Each structure stands twice: as structure tokens, then as C-alpha cells.
Structure 1
Amino acid sequence: MNGYEELANAIVLQAVNDYRLARKKKESAKQVALVQFFRSKWFAVLTNIDGRLLEQKLKEEY
């Protein structure tokens, strides 16, 4: 894995962690912003993960 892939993975992982924390703290505005990120073209550039599927899986955790 090269440095760019590592950086992209770290960005996505941080967003996932931020979303989990926002759900735990019931910070709806932050959750909305992160869902927008998961559905964005930028997210699609960073990873091959389906952002909507990721969002669904994260919501199922709680």
C-alpha cells in the first residue's frame, strides 16, 4: 500500500469513528455532515466502498 492509499484509508476511518461518536453523543448536525461525506464524490475518490451501504451498516450498530 502506498502513502496515498494509507492517507485515504485514514480519512475514511476517521470519518467512521467521528460518525460513531456523533451517534453516541446524539450530535445530529455532525451526523448529517458525515452522511453527506459518505455520499460524496470525494468519498468515492478515496475508496471503493459504497458510502450508502456503509451508512446503513453504521446505523445498524445502534
Structure 2
Amino acid sequence: MVGTKNLAEDPYERLANAIILQAVTDYRAALKRIKRKPEDWETIDEAMRVESFFRSGWYSQLTAVDGEYLIRRLQDEVRE
């Protein structure tokens, strides 16, 4: 169809999704490392940097998913 844009094929949307998915992967991994080794300050710092990204204006421009909600969900997932 002419004039119809498939958002799944939009390279900018794919890039935005890839950025967010990488942040989720990094945050989840950091939380798991912190759970195993709570005194790992380098990993705590990494988790805090990712949390800062989830709370940033840039993150909000990339997605409509609430950053605080995502942080809570990932923390709950790792706690289980």
C-alpha cells in the first residue's frame, strides 16, 4: 500500500528498541551480579548508570514505556 509505513521496519525504531533492549540486558545482569556479590561497587555503579538512563529524557524519547515501571519489573524479576 502506498503511504503506509510499517513501524516494525522503521530503522530508527529498530535502533531505539535495540538501545533499550541492551540497557535491559545490562541492568538485569548487573542486578544478578549484585545479588551474588552485594559489595561489588563497580557493578552497583553500573546499575545506577542504567537506572539513570531509564529515568532520562533520552529514554523517554525512545519509548513510551515508563522507566520507573521497567526498573521495578526488572528488580522484581531478579528477586524471584
The answer, yes or no, to whether TM exceeds 0.5 is: yes
Instruction: Compare CA radii of gyration and give the structure with the larger one.
Output: 2
Q: 1:3 deviation in Å?
A: 0.2
Q: How is 1:44-55 mapped onto 2 (pairs within 5 angstroms)?
A: 44-55=60-71
Q: 1:25 deviation in Å?
A: 1.5
Q: 1:36 — aligned with what?
A: 52
Separation of aligned partners in 2, 1:59 and 1:23: 7
Separation of aligned partners in 2, 1:39 and 1:53: 10
- Identical amino acids, percent of aligned pairs: 45
**Gaps (5+ residues) in structure 2?**
1-7, 35-42
Aligned residues: 62
Q: 1:57 deviation in Å?
A: 0.4
Counterpart amino acid of residue 51 in structure 1: G
**Gaps (5+ residues) in structure 1?**
none
Q: TM-score, normalised by structure 1?
A: 0.95
RMSD: 0.7
Counterpart amino acid of residue 53 in structure 1: Y
Q: TM-score, normalised by structure 2?
A: 0.75
Runs (4 or more) in structure 1 with deviation over 4 Å come to none
Counterpart amino acid of residue 21 in structure 1: A
